[in-house]
């Protein structure tokens, strides 16, 4: 049985029915994404591995609770990953911020080949769009967004980590998100 042809939602339905091969295929698709989110948040490869395993174990146990209304499967996975990382931060007494996030270059990915199935083409296209949009953000806004998104820092914590005034950080977050939204909406327009 070739599980590559199934879309993400179908894989989750099969995982909910304890189909190990479906979990294996979902892992092949998204383990890099999940691991990368954890690695960029925690800057610790061992912890990132632990989080990645936790996330997929949770998918194995909770796949039946996923509904399409919750958004894309990739978004669901990254949300779970991000929340687990933030939990770790909050339970850690000595939090060490990872001030460097590794953004991909905008044009660094090859276009999908003709034999790619629909989900691969869609994912590759979205990655190109987001990378292009993030690449257009000013470095200071990109940095502030990364600290907020991947590490769950508040305005005040970001200001403290960067040694910048609170108002400056608030402005960077607001302008960064406004520009990102505008760029992504522009990319999605026909």
Contact (Cβ atoms closer than 8 angstroms) between residue 85 and residue 38: yes
Near other proteins by CB under 8 A: residue from 24, 65, 92, 100: 24
Is residue 7 part of the contact set for other proteins (CB under 8 A)? Answer: yes
- Write out the binding residues for other proteins, residues 127-146 only, by CB under 8 A: 127, 129-131, 133-135, 145
Is residue 70 part of the contact set for other proteins (CB under 8 A)? Answer: no
Near other proteins by CB under 8 A: residue from 154, 165, 167, 186: 154
How many residues bind other proteins (CB under 8 A)? The answer is: 71
Near other proteins by CB under 8 A: residue from 44, 58, 89, 104: 104
Is residue 181 part of the contact set for other proteins (CB under 8 A)? Answer: yes
């Amino acid at each position: 049985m070739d599980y590559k042809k199934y879309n993400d939602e179908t894989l989750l339905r099969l995982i909910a029915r304890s189909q190990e091969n479906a979990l294996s295929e979902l892992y092949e698709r998204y383990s890099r994404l999940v691991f990368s989110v954890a690695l960029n948040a925690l800057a610790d490869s061992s912890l990132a591995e632990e989080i990645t395993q936790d996330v997929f174990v949770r998918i194995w146990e909770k796949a039946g609770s996923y509904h399409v209304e919750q958004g894309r499967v990739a978004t669901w996975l990254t949300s779970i990953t991000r929340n687990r990382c933030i939990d770790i931060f909050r339970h850690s007494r000595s939090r060490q911020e990872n001030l460097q996030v590794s953004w991909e270059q905008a044009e660094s990915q090859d276009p999908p080949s003709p034999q790619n199935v629909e989900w691969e083409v869609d994912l590759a296209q979205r990655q190109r769009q987001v990378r292009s949009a993030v690449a257009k953000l000013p470095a200071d806004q990109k940095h502030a967004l990364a600290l907020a998104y991947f590490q769950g820092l508040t305005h005040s914590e970001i200001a403290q980590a960067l040694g910048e005034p609170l108002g400056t950080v608030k402005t960077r977050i607001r302008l960064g998100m406004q520009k990102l939204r505008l760029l992504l909406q522009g990319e999605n327009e026909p």
